[in-house]
Amino acid sequence: MDRPDWAPAGIDIDKPSAARVYDYSLGGTHNFAADRAIIEALNAAVPSGPLIPRSNRAFLHRAVRYLTDVGIRQFLDIGSGIPTSGNVHQIAQQAAPGARVVYVDIDPVAVAHSQAILAGNPHAMAIQADARQPDAILHHPQVCSLLDFDQPMAVMLVAILHLIADIDDPAGIAAQFTGAVVPGSYLAISHMTGESRPEEMKKVEELLARTPTPLTLRTRAQIAQMFAGLDLVAPGLVWVPQWRPDAPDDNLDNHPELSGVLGGIGYKA
């Protein structure tokens, strides 16, 4: 296929990326045929497949609204993906115009598109970095120029830790980020699990194995360890539709487990 103008030079448009797969699943346009093929195969194999990204995105929206309500004005969004409707900076800055947001992603398409969207916004920026290297992110000059690590902030690890292999210690990565922020800060996590319907979620895991960042499903107990040392905000670690839903019918017709995703927010006292 022809390379679109927005595609950075050097990327292989025939190789799917988790960020672009997620973009397509949410109705975005910055994806290629290889990315779309993953979602089409997933939806064919897992009838409730479309609920996974939608439920996760809705959780992100509610989490940011909660965090701004409790006074957070700084956000470090790791594995932010390709911007689609309702980005962190849009939600946070609507509530608090001076809120500052740094987006971090390893995918060059995600970063290039984010930078284009954020041009002219002095309170938000995007950098390309690897979530598996927290020190490089925490000491990145652009991150340090926008965020004040002497003030509380929210670290967003939404739909990213399940793309980090066990060998890279995702719980340890979460701990490095929370160790770098002051008391009064928060950590938001959402993570896919196979606990509710292991056979279907295993198919999702197999399909995403085709991308450079394969999926690793984890148990509720393993995900809970990622909040070690933090106080979980009510209602705790739950299926994402159950996390402070906007309306009763947000609960997937009383089957929140169809989301396949657990989420929560931890507070650093």
Tell me whether residue 6 is in a domain: no
Selection from 152, 167, 164 nearest residue 189 by Cα: 164
Residue type, 58: A
In 95-182, DSSP assigns E strands to 100-105, 124-128, 154-158
pLDDT in tens, 49-99: 788 888 998 999 999 999 999 999 999 999 988 776 678 999 999 999 999
Domain assignment present for 11: no
Say how many domains are in the chain. 1
Q: Which residue has the higher pLDDT, 152 or 117?
A: 152
Range of the domain at 191: 18-267
Tell me the per-residue pLDDT of 111-137, one tens digit each, with 9 for 90 and over: 887 888 898 999 999 999 999 999 999
Q: In this structure, what token pair is assigned to residue 99?
A: 């809120």
How far apart are the C-alpha atoms of 114 and 126, rounded to whole Å?
6
Q: Give the residue-averaged pLDDT of 158-186.
A: 97
Rounded mean pLDDT, 197-218: 82
Greater model confidence, 72 or 7: 72
In a domain, 7, yes or no: no
Asked if pLDDT for residue 1 goes beyond 60, the answer is no
Within a domain: residue 237?
yes
In single-letter form, the type of residue at position 209 comes to A
Query: Of 38-52, 145-159, 245-259, which has the strongest mean pLDDT?
Result: 145-159
Decide if 253 is inside a domain: yes
Here the CATH number for the domain that contains residue 133 is 3.40.50.150
Domain membership of residue 8 (yes or no) is: no
